[in-house]
A = this chain, B = another copy of it.
Amino acid sequence: MQQSIKLSVDAVVFGYESGTISVLLIKRKYEPFKGKWAIAGGFVLEDESLEEAVERELKEETGIEINYLEQLYTFGNPKRDPRCRVVSVAYFGLIKPSAFKIFASTDAEEVQWFKINELPSLSFDHEEILKLAIARLQGKITYEPIGFELLDTKFPFSDLEKLYTTLLGRAIDRRNFRKKILSLNILDELDEKVSKGSGRPANLFKFNRERYFKLKKEGIIFEI
């Protein structure tokens, strides 16, 4: 049996900054879909693992290096690529946009952050992939803590609150939220304050790595 299916990886990278969730997209330099936006990705090399492939492609096409990536889903519709049969393993990542300078190279003509409610039309079946990724992101916050990968190392509590508000798409009770999060014991309160121009300066917190990842593994039932 001669099989000639190609294998690619794609990465949906989410970033969070000042109250909005964005996705990193590239503008394709070559056909098919030349000039159209797409999520970053490319073919897997023969001797690299899938994770190595996503990380390499992300680096090549956008300049970012990411430390949180998880497998999302594998898309194998025979017609998803007009050229030939391409099966794509999609990944899902979270970063702080401020931590990296994005720049286009290789297959990308341009790289840009798009707010998730202001997305352009996309190449291939990337809209479907993105839709699934967004659903997963929203689902995640109900069973594990989120934030470590998206916030600065030191942050005022309101940043975390705003992140959750944004992800949930609705207001949350500040007092109950604080109670809940603090009871999880994943934050360490620092002896530092930060002022945002006006108002009372906020205490800074940082995630306690160890307890954060422990809780993430165990899983929580998280009702906000």
Contacts and interface: CB of A to CB of B under 8 A. Distances in A.
Interface of A: 1, 3-7, 43-50, 71, 73-74, 76-78, 85, 87, 89, 139, 142-143, 219, 221, 223
A50 B128 CA distance: 16
19 contacts: A1-B45, A3-B7, A5-B6, A5-B44, A7-B7, A7-B87, A46-B85, A47-B78, A47-B85, A48-B78, A50-B74, A50-B76, A71-B74, A74-B74, A74-B89, A139-B219, A143-B143, A221-B221, A221-B223
B3 A43 contact: yes
Contacts of A46: 3-5, 78, 85
B3 A3 contact: no
Contacts of A142: 221
Copies in the complex: 2
Contacts of A7: 3, 5, 7, 87
Given A74-B71, A221-B221, A87 B50 contact: yes
A190 B50 CA distance: 51
Given A50-B87, A221-B223, A223-B221, A76 B4 contact: no
A223 B142 CA distance: 14
Nearest to A88: B74
A221 to B, nearest CB: 6
B71 A89 contact: no
Contacts of A44: 3, 5, 76, 87
Contact of A49 (B1, B49, B77, B219): B77
